[in-house]
């Protein structure tokens, strides 16, 4: 039921199925808390969750999106950062069943798959500001300050 998994080879799917564990979370329970250390990847097998984030300026909790069966979360803390960037709260009277994968298994089976790289509309706003600043920058605008090192495959310059 996870659309991205349909493209995976059968061997990878089989290995993935062997290492996934099932967890159940009750209605209103936090699956992930923002700022907590992240060592787990989750796939929603049944139920719905609400994604929220604490606003750094006002301190208020802001609603981001809902997620349901077939959606996954937790990959950011395993790929780039060690801490969770949002809250995941169960929003289903029957609770949520998740398939759970630890950091080591995630890195071996999923970590390098390009199909798991996704961007959300609310995240693109943050990166676009940085892109705008350097949009008109070309290689001709840069100059060499110093040589950092020389090796058999080339030269590294600052």
Give me the pLDDT at residue 147, please.
Answer: 93
Distance CA 86, CA 50 (A): 10
CATH placement of domain 3-115: 2.60.120.10
Spans of the chain, pLDDT less than 50? 124, 126-127
Q: Which of 35, 9, 34 is nearest to 110 (CA)?
A: 9
- pLDDT value of residue 96: 94
pLDDT at residue 24, rounded to an integer: 94
pLDDT at residue 105, as a whole number:
80
Token pair belonging to 46: 């049944």
Strand-pair partners of 89: 30, 50
The domain spans of the chain are 3-115
From CA 105, how far away is CA 109, in angstroms rounded?
6
Nearest to 51 by CA among 123, 110, 128: 123
């Amino acid at each position: 039921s996870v659309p991205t998994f349909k493209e995976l080879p059968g061997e990878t799917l089989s290995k993935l199925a062997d290492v996934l564990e099932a967890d159940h979370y009750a209605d209103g329970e936090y699956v992930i808390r923002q700022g907590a250390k992240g060592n787990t990847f989750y796939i929603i097998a049944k139920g719905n969750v609400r994604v929220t984030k604490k606003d750094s300026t006002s301190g208020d909790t802001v609603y981001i999106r809902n997620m349901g069966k077939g959606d996954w979360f937790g990959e950011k803390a395993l790929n780039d950062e060690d801490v969770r960037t949002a809250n995941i709260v169960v929003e289903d009277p029957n609770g949520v069943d998740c398939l759970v994968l630890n950091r080591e298994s995630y890195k071996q089976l999923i970590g390098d798959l390009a199909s798991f790289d996704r961007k959300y509309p609310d995240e693109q706003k943050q990166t676009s500001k940085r892109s705008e600043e350097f949009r008109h920058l070309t290689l001709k605008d840069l100059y060499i300050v110093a040589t950092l090192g020389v090796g058999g495959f080339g030269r590294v310059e600052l």
